[in-house]
Amino acid sequence: MSAFAFEVGLPPLEFGTGLRARLQLLRGAQALLTALPDLSPRSEPLGALVVEAGLVTPGDLELALGLAADRRRRLGEVLIEQQYVSSSDLLRLLGEQRGMPFLDLSRLDPDPDAARLLPAATARLFRTLPVGFAHGLPVVAIGDPTDELAIARARSFVSEARFVTSSDQDILARLEALGL
């Protein structure tokens, strides 16, 4: 205890409490990131995955495919528009199709050191956010797992990254909270 603290009756200073709290947070995040399943990309089209998941019937899928063709829109957009699936369901299925697990960013405080691996402008533009590390590799959340340009751009900064899907609203909110 410093002589000053003793003289004025202050409790002794405890150094490292901020670091200790940060390490506890990171250990929790590390456990969550390490426990992410390893998914292999699936070759089935989105329509087959939606039916397999029990979200639409084969008849509803045929109707949605017809609407998508008539409107020249992607099947996922039509499925959401017709309220067959939620945007969260679609994101999870598209991620599964690409071999990317879903990560709920409300359960994780991103590691600020990981977040700085991508320039803020790139992260915002492509809705990507490095959230931490698992098995020595950066884990990057991406809002659209079908966006090959976003994946390529993120890989140009973090070549050996593991990608997960997260909602783009959650990614933007976390970027804002991190001041990026």
Split at pLDDT 50, 70, 90, the class of 29 is low
Q: Give residue limits of the domains in the chain.
A: 25-33+100-177, 46-98
| 13, pLDDT greater than 60 | no
Q: What percent of the chain has pLDDT over 90?
A: 53
CB neighbour burial string for 75-97, b if at least 16 within 10 angstroms, e if fewer:
bbebbbeeebbeeebbbbbbbbb
Q: Which helix (H) or strand (E) holds 8?
A: helix 3-8
Report the pLDDT value the prediction gives residue 21, as an integer from 0 to 100.
Answer: 40
- Check: CB of residue 130 under 8 Å from CB of residue 118: yes
Is 50 exceeded by the pLDDT of residue 143?
yes
pLDDT bin (cut points 50, 70, 90) of residue 175 is very high
pLDDT tens per residue, range 73-117: 999 999 999 999 999 999 999 999 999 999 888 878 888 888 989
Which sign, positive or negative, has the C-alpha torsion 32, 33, 38, 39? positive
Least confident of 23-27, 58-62, 144-148: 23-27
Instruction: Determine contact, residues 130/114, Cβ cutoff 8 Å.
Output: yes
- According to CATH, what is the number of the domain 25-33+100-177? 3.30.300.160
In the numeric block, which tokens belong to residue 71?
Answer: 């409107």
pLDDT tens by residue, 73-83: 999 999 999 99
Six-digit token string for 63? 């109707």
pLDDT at 130: 94
**% residues pLDDT > 70 (the chain):** 81
